[in-house]
Structure 1
């Protein structure tokens, strides 16, 4: 379990290179939520606490990332280019 908690932030930071700011906020929230969930859980429930924390952190991170530009959404065209337009 400790190895997973050490590898997750590294994997998220590498994957963040191709993600939008909202995706990055969701990934960061998920990693932080997993770490916090595992830290506050009992010894036998660390995996469940990490999973619940990751889910809650991902949702919170996505909402926070989306709120940075109210009324604007990020889209990708057929070539993978991102652009911002009204939702």
Structure 2
């Protein structure tokens, strides 16, 4: 019973931390990690039928989910810095 409570507490902690993300890319990475951890844990349990497999699957799923979530974020406008003839430095779209 304690193992179930600790897994639930871990999932809630990850969900809370994912909600604290500042940018859309960070939010998608957090959401991807949360979903990936859940799917990985289920797959690990189905394959290994023990706690070690479940934890390994959750870790691998979280890592893969975060990578996919980060890669799926839309790219914003890119800005370049340049120096005007009067010496001031400005930023404008590239």
TM-score by length of 1: 0.65
Structure 1: give runs of 5+ residues left out of the alignment.
Answer: 74-84
Structure 2: give runs of 5+ residues left out of the alignment.
Answer: 79-91
The change in CA–CA distance for 1:38 and 1:14 in structure 2 (over 3 A counts) is closer
User: How many residue pairs are counted as aligned between the two chains?
Assistant: 73
**Equivalent of residue 21 in structure 1, options 24, 34, 37:** 24
Structure 1 segments of 4+ aligned residues over 4 angstroms from their partners: none
The change in CA–CA distance for 1:12 and 1:48 in structure 2 (over 3 A counts) is closer
Q: Deviations over 1:42-84 (max 9, x none)?
A: 222000000000000000001112xx2x3536xxxxxxxxxxx
Which structure has the larger Rg over C-alpha atoms?
2
Alignment of 1:1-87 (within 5 A): 1-15=3-17, 16-41=19-44, 42-44=48-50, 45-65=53-73, 68=74, 70=75, 72=77
TM-score by length of 2: 0.61
